[in-house]
Structure 1
Amino acid sequence: MRRLRQLAERTPAGRERYVDLLRALAITMVVIGHWTVTVIGRDAAGRPTGHSALGDLPWAYPLTWLAQVMPVFFLVGGYANAASLTNRRARGGDATGWLLDRSARLVRPTSALLLTLTVAATLARLRGVAPAEIRTVVWFATIPLWFLVAYLVVVVLTPPMHALHRRYGLLVALLLVALVGLGDLGRLVGPAGLARGNYLFGWLAVHQLGFAWYDARSPAPPAPSTPGRAAPGHPAGDRPTPEHRAPGRVRVRRRRLPTSRRAALCFLTGGLTASVLLTVVGPWPVAMLHVPGERLDNAAPPSLALLAVAAGQLGLILLLRDPAERWLRRAGPWQLVIAVNLVVLTVFLWHLTATILLVGFLDAIGVLPTPPIGTAAWWGWRVPWLVLLAGVLTVLVAAFGPVEARSARHRTGRRAGRSSPARTALTVAGYAAVVAGLLGNSVTAAHAPEPLGTPVAALLAYLAGAGVLRLLRSGWGSRG
């Protein structure tokens, strides 16, 4: 509590606390949503199995328009990435150092999860557990890595995408939305391969809106003075940059996200209207989360319908900002938000492992309930189920959360100077290997005979990339 009070007291006056709240809420909603819709049953051999309840609860599909909060996370990520990259460059740093800082917070907690699962899988194999069974458990525990693959790619692309945003503003996001529409067309009429790019274009579009939101919250550049006189902030005789000339002010406005109450209502009503037209009238499913058996999936990859829901969510976010900011000025709520954000990735990465541990424990002692979905017993089990899962996750966060919390305190930004081309190339290569490893794990079948749980090639690629990034963060390969 003492450290939380210190962090709260040191919060800069201009910090957008609402962004931190949204990040914490988004991950919390993902965790609770996954836990709530999980159905535990048994296979023919009597072993516990799990699947999503959404396929049996069609009345809950509209609720997924709020429960699908990944767009919120990418929106917040865009804001935070734009803010930190801009601040780093203002201190004389470069994009390579920024990527290395980001890798510490993202890769270290992920490494803790993968290494722990690998050790557990090795022990299980030594005890005679079949490789296919080991893979099934590890596959379920690593489902969150699907999301992390997309986010890591977006982080690597942040420097060039932010440069495009500064030049072309919201036109970049509109182009990405158009590419998502092209991918949707491929899914509907062919070729289906066109839709693969939506995994990137969809989340990048939302991420770009985060850049525009940051611009809306940052000070505007000074306006030029009367002709023949220097603009404020420019010595006499120096020509203002295009960013500071009168035409440049228009360009800046085009980079900014409209955040007025009127704009928020337009986002909300426009997004909801488009969502209804695309789902109820159009071909897309109403559910914004995966539903077993559905031919189309709004989230894998992101569809125009999901982006329409994201626009509606953005409107709601902007409408609630002022009361939320007033609430966050209180010490208690703000300290709670800080506490969650210190371990937010750990919470996300380990919440399905908590499910596995609880199911295994209850099954081992013979008290695992498996009521039919939708029955009174199933609904009655939801509350104790959530409470028990929260208890298990609390233990896991206490054990592994310090890895993430410490990562936030180790910054390569303390080193001045710019990176060499070789260091930049190694940084990108490290990220590429990490992404390839995580992607290789995610696309491997859930019942593949993998004795280590994670495919060996994918695990080696990930560890190689994580190792390179760790060496670079320590200063290896830097000048001087």
Structure 2
Amino acid sequence: MRAGALLVVVFGHWIATLPRLENGLMTTTDHLLLVWTGAGVLTWLLQVVPLFIFVSAAVSADGAQRRLDQGQRQLHWWAGRALGLARPTVTYLAVLVAFVLLAAYTGGRLLGPLNHSLTVHLWFLMMLLGVQALLPLSVWADNRWGLKAVAGLLLIAAAVDLLRAGISTPGELLELGTRVTANGGGIGWLNAAVVWLLPQQLGIAWKRGRFSGLGCGLALLLLGLLWLAAAVASGYPVAMVDGAFGVPSNLLPPTLALVGVMWIQVGAALTFEAPVRRLLERRRIDRTVTILGALGMPLYLWHKLAELPAAWLGERLGLPIDAGIPGEVGFWLGRLWWIALCIVAVAPVMIAVVTFEMRRKRDVVSATAAPAIFAGGAALLGGIVASLALGALPGAIFGLTGVAAASWLLRVHPQPGGATQRHA
């Protein structure tokens, strides 16, 4: 499910990017959500971050509990996770810096339309690191309160949106979504933690058998659909991802509407769990899952870079990568051409990246000293924020500085000879 979620995100990003050409040359890009309002409903399926967190928590719950029982430092475990993300991100940003410096020197035309597109996907790494840092707290909460911990997070998320909306009378609840998204983030940024912690708490509870079965799955699916219908009716945006900054958003910061997507995805997991498990007992797909798991994060990191050569190829070959807007003849054919070009462009990149990653030292021991871990975490998050805010140029340059510092701070110096660090 994690590998599938990452593939959905990759193809979703490619589909959403609409190159705009003039006289055969790309001059700008549009976002699918900005030219086709109906695409917002598709994001109820394509916004799979809740599913990724849900499954990741289920996978990590036993290891986190074991470390708690043994008195091991969760901070050290998080340092290993952060280092594991920092190292490949350094490689990506280093290559991106080389691209942007070359583009600045040569007056590269394609970088401008794709400047922010090349770094916007890094937000997921920042969110994932933050949620994983709180995994021990989520495990502890499940130990103490079980599903009541989920209910508590849900109440906090609702209270945050109510306060953000300034609700003072029951009648104003009918306009909750409109009032929430009309205000600035403010207190709403608390939900940047709370809303993403919800699927983590649910994933731990699922792993421990606190809820399961077809009936529960169908009930959650129905709850999710009703939840989203009520959210949209109250004025929350239909789309669960953003097509542009500064517009009403369910993502910046997260809103209660996103919780509806979580119910649907968790409900689908439960609904299909039994038949899929039976299928997996008959058909061994270990090797396929291993390959997808190994390639998932590198593909996520590098897939946006493929848009640069894809645009260049589309121009040179005269392909209809600018297919107009939905409803016009050839739009979806143009999308297929664009996706095909992105796949062609990303394939050699993935071969080079995987070859490089396989040859680099893998058994790097993470830091144990709290000051180094906190400093490394701050540098990593700061580097990602700089890349997000400023785009490839100049954001990647500042981002590379921060993430490279994090990669150095989050490891033991000197590295012990032949030591192996394993992370659950």
TM norm structure 1: 0.75
1:346 aligned to 295, 298, 319, which one? 298
Unaligned runs of 5+ in 1: 1-21, 217-255, 414-418
Question: For residues 307-341 of structure 1, what are the alpha-carbon distances to aligned partners after superposition, in whole Å with 9 as ceiling and x for unaligned?
Answer: 02211211111111122222333555332222110
Determine whether 1:102 maps to 2:81.
Answer: yes
Determine whether 1:213 maps to 2:213.
Answer: no
Number of residue-to-residue matches in the alignment: 401
Given that residues 429 and 465 in structure 1 are in contact (C-alpha distance below 8 angstroms), is that contact kept between their aligned partners in structure 2?
A: yes
For the residues of structure 2 that align with 1:180 and 1:90, how far apart are their CA atoms?
A: 30
The Cα of 1:24 is off from its aligned counterpart by: 1.0
TM norm structure 2: 0.84
The Cα of 1:91 is off from its aligned counterpart by: 7.4
Residue 409 of structure 2 corresponds to 468
1:372-383 matches, within 5 Å, as 372-374=324-326, 375-383=328-336
Given that residues 288 and 299 in structure 1 are in contact (C-alpha distance below 8 angstroms), is that contact kept between their aligned partners in structure 2?
A: yes
| Residues 365 and 56 (structure 1), Cα distance of their counterparts in 2 relative to 1, 3 Å cut | closer
1:290 aligned to 242, 248, 265, which one? 242
The Cα of 1:67 is off from its aligned counterpart by: 1.4
Residue 454 of structure 1 corresponds to 396
Unaligned runs of 5+ in 2: 166-178, 420-424
1:333 aligned to 285, 291, 298, which one? 285
Amino acid at match of 1:310: M
For the residues of structure 1 that align with 2:360 and 2:284, how far apart are their CA atoms?
A: 24
Amino acid at match of 1:427: I
Q: CA RMSD in A?
A: 3.1
For the residues of structure 2 that align with 1:424 and 1:102, how far apart are their CA atoms?
A: 15
The Cα of 1:136 is off from its aligned counterpart by: 5.9
Greater CA deviation, 404-413 or 33-42?
Answer: 404-413
Given that residues 142 and 349 in structure 1 are in contact (C-alpha distance below 8 angstroms), is that contact kept between their aligned partners in structure 2?
A: no
The Cα of 1:76 is off from its aligned counterpart by: 1.4
For the residues of structure 1 that align with 2:415 and 2:132, how far apart are their CA atoms?
A: 20
Greater CA deviation, 314-323 or 424-433?
Answer: 424-433
Residue 155 of structure 1 corresponds to 132
**Secondary structure of 1:140's aligned partner:** coil
Determine whether 1:259 maps to 2:212.
Answer: yes
Determine whether 1:443 maps to 2:389.
Answer: yes
Amino acid at match of 1:306: L
Question: For residues 425-450 of structure 1, what are the alpha-carbon distances to aligned partners after superposition, in whole Å with 9 as ceiling and x for unaligned?
Answer: 32232122101210122123x59xx4
Residue 176 of structure 2 corresponds to none
Residue 171 of structure 1 corresponds to 148
Q: How high is the sequence identity, in percent, across the aligned residues?
A: 27
Greater CA deviation, 343-352 or 294-303?
Answer: 294-303
Determine whether 1:391 maps to 2:370.
Answer: no
| Residues 395 and 261 (structure 1), Cα distance of their counterparts in 2 relative to 1, 3 Å cut | same
The Cα of 1:83 is off from its aligned counterpart by: 3.1
For the residues of structure 1 that align with 2:82 and 2:185, how far apart are their CA atoms?
A: 33
Residue 100 of structure 2 corresponds to 121
The Cα of 1:192 is off from its aligned counterpart by: 4.0
- Which structure would you say has the larger Rg? 1
Residue 35 of structure 2 corresponds to 56
Residue 426 of structure 1 corresponds to 372
The Cα of 1:285 is off from its aligned counterpart by: 1.6
1:352-371 matches, within 5 Å, as 352-364=304-316, 367=319, 369-371=321-323
Question: For residues 236-289 of structure 1, what are the alpha-carbon distances to aligned partners after superposition, in whole Å with 9 as ceiling and x for unaligned?
Answer: xxxxxxxxxxxxxxxxxxxx3x1122222221111211111111x212122222
